[in-house]
Amino acid sequence: MGLVPTMGALHDGHLSLVQRGLNENDALVVSIFVNPTQFNNPDDLVKYPRTLEKDVDLLKSVSEHILVYAPSVADVYGEDVVSVNFDFDGLEDKMEGAFRPGHFDGVGTIVKRLFEIVTPNRAYFGEKDFQQLAIIKNMVKKCNMPLTIVPCEILREPNGLAMSSRNVRLTSEYAAAAPFIYQTLKTAKVKFGTERANEVTEWVEDQFKNHPLLELEYFVIADVETLETVKHKVENKLYRAFIAVYAGEIRLIDNLALN
């Protein structure tokens, strides 16, 4: 059995995970649950799109044999809607964790609960949330959970913007500006081949200082295994660029392998 955990508002990025899950398993569960404990901003939780009927119809268009698990908050948490406190060996303190306190405790809590309820053999996660993916792998290993975490490549819009449920909330003006994020990542990758990590970081920060619409929250070049910020490049290590940007009130994240 495979599991694709989602918060709904499904798009082609989700469907690529679903299709892979169908191809690799005898049965597939897609969970649809907007998890309250991973939102550090209450407004973000309220505004998060909830489109269950549309999501189910979309999944039916892919296959009639998908099991949809769409629990209520009470089904998952009972009366005590709180996160478990996890130790992810410091992976949780960087990047997203630094700007969204408690976020990864919420993620760990819901993902562990879903694994216990569904008991899948494989679970599929997109690399757009690369830090989340690393943290879930860490949790599965520490808790000796008998399943395989399957990473799936980022699916992008034709203009390069990483597919996200939040994209539907972008105004036309911000939707036109948002592909600048991926364009900047691609140039940063080229620069990383010949320049120091801190020089690339400064260049990215300058690009956003001059942008009339997009506001950079962070840009980090990190070691793929530890997620530690790179000070000096080391041969045979893999690095990735991570970015978070505000397009108006919509927060967009992306990342790109650098080598």
Query: Can you tell me the distance from the alpha carbon of 208 to that of 231, in angstroms, rounded to the nearest whole number?
Result: 22
Domain 165-257 CATH assignment equals 3.30.1300.10: yes
- Name the CATH architecture for the domain at 2-152: 3-Layer(aba) Sandwich (3.40)
Catalytic annotation present for 14: yes
Residue 204: half-sphere exposure toward Cβ, Cα within 13 Å: 32
Closest by Cα among 166, 160, 172 to 246: 166
In this prediction, residue 26 carries a pLDDT of 98
The neighbour count for residue 232, using CB atoms within 10 Å, is 7
Strands 239-247 and 214-223: antiparallel
pLDDT value at residue 89 = 93
Tell if the pTM clears 0.75, that is, is over it: yes
Judge whether 2-152 and 165-257 match in fold: no
How confident is the model over 61-83, as a mean pLDDT? 95
11, 14, 65, 103: the active-site residue: 14
Q: Which pLDDT band holds residue 253 (cuts at 50, 70, 90)?
A: very high
Name the nearest CA neighbour of 250 among 184, 155, 178, 185: 178
Torsion of CA 73, 76, 82, 87, to 10 degrees: -140
Decide: helix, strand or coil at residue 115.
Answer: helix
Domain residue spans in the chain? 2-152, 165-257
Q: State pLDDT tens for residues 206-244.
A: 999 999 999 999 999 999 999 999 988 998 999 999 999
- Average confidence score pLDDT of the chain: 95
- What single letter denotes the amino acid at residue 158? P
Q: What is the pLDDT of residue 41?
A: 83
- The answer to whether 220 touches 200, Cβ cutoff 8 Å, is no
At 93-110, the pLDDT tens digits run 999 999 988 899 999 999
Over the stretch 150-185, which tens digit does the pLDDT of each residue have?
999 999 999 999 999 899 899 999 999 999 999 999
Task: Give phi and psi for 13, each to the nearest 5.
Answer: -60, -45
